[in-house]
Amino acid sequence: MLRVALLGAGRIGQVHAKSMTATTASRLVAVADVNAEAAQDLAARIGAEACSVDQIIADPSIDAVLIATSTDTHSDLITRATAAGKAVLCEKPVDLSLDRALATLKAAEATGQPVMIGFNRRFDPSFKALKAAFDGGEIGRGELLSITSFDPAPPPVSYIKVSGGLFRDMMIHDFDMACWIFGGAPATVSAQGAALVDPAIGDAGDVDTAVVTLVWDDGRMAVIRNSRRAGYGYDQRVEVLGSGGLLSANNMLENTVEKITTDGAVSAKPLHFFLERYMRAYEDEWTAFLDAVTTGAAMPVTLREGVAALACAEAATRSLKTGATVAITPDMLG
């Protein structure tokens, strides 16, 4: 059984704490947070100890850490934890700065320690089934990938301001999905976007609605649609057109009830948000991390892949500004 620690006791940290305590393959022994009270509360609830980050990193009995702190601390914590000989599962994105993420990649790879980035959607049962069918050649060669990713409501503008922007904060998931499904990284990125949901988001220099097209070297394309506000819930769909057919993974609904009256047929909305939709994915993500650490197998999502998603976000940001297609160059991928 691996002895593990959780860095970050906020909302997403608490989500992870559930998975970390549900399995018998790891024992969550320590929790750290800049807010000491939050760490103590969570630690008490799950029978762990509240510690400082320094204590955890210095503790040789701790095998692995899950980093769920604010994004600006990720690079530093990955670097320090791997240097201390620990396996790392770090929340997305790696960093808001591609340069810093590249430096972190270099440092972490030098330690030989396994690092996984928390792209939870790869562990969603439907997306996994789509990926397996696609890799199994069920629709032939991939041609056109489409990813829809709409949130039910935008975060506060205060969050938007420090988020790194829609491409680094939200679409980063979809960049990873696209690279995961098609393999490698795209050659070019073209972005269009606007603040249609809330002008305050535009005033903060960000967009809340965007369409980004990725093109691979061999011409395959992926188009990603993001909105910060779908209203009806969390809209998470993936569709791949291949030479032999179409694969799609659709939303999960709140229930299977349908009502037909003179007003038409009414069925349930999609599951509300990421906690509802991806609860199972978070659990499977943690298990997959433990499995890889224990067996020494390759990480299911590598730090290098986390950097590639960030490179897409960087390119999209530039494309949106210039109105031109931006190339992803090898130096952006580390």
Does 158 help bind a copy of itself (rule: CB under 8 A)? Answer: no
Instruction: Out of 64, 92, 96, 150, name the contact with a copy of itself by CB under 8 A.
Output: 150
Does 70 help bind a copy of itself (rule: CB under 8 A)? Answer: no
Closest to a copy of itself by CB, 109 or 254 = 254
Instruction: Out of 66, 215, 288, 301, name the contact with a copy of itself by CB under 8 A.
Output: 215
Instruction: Out of 27, 229, 304, 318, name the contact with a copy of itself by CB under 8 A.
Output: 229
Q: Record the tokens describing residue 285, joined without a space.
A: 């993500």
| Stretch of residues binding a copy of itself (CB under 8 A), selected from 1-9, 86-94, 239-247, 304-312 | 239-247
Strands 26-32, 49-50: pairing is parallel
Smallest gap, in angstroms, from Cβ of residue 265 to a copy of itself? 5
DSSP bridge pairs for 190:
213
Sign of the CA dihedral running 74, 75, 80, 84: positive
Could you give the CA distance from residue 310 to residue 250 in angstroms, rounded to a whole number? 26
Could you give the CA distance from residue 334 to residue 332 in angstroms, rounded to a whole number? 6
Smallest gap, in angstroms, from Cβ of residue 259 to a copy of itself? 5
One-character DSSP codes across 30-49: EEE-SSHHHHHHHHHHHT-E
Q: Cβ distance 101 to 72 under 8 Å?
A: no
Site residues for a copy of itself, 110-139, by CB under 8 A, read 125-126, 129-130, 133, 138-139
Kindly list the distances between the CA atom of residue 119 and the CA atoms of 63, 93, 281, in Å, as whole numbers in the listed order.
Answer: 21, 9, 10
DSSP bridge pairs for 148:
225, 237
Instruction: Out of 249, 301, 303, 313, name the contact with a copy of itself by CB under 8 A.
Output: 249
Sites of contact with a copy of itself (CB under 8 A): 125-126, 129-130, 133, 138-139, 141, 143-144, 146, 150, 188, 190, 192-197, 209, 211, 213, 215, 219-221, 223, 225, 227, 229-233, 235, 241, 243-270, 323-325
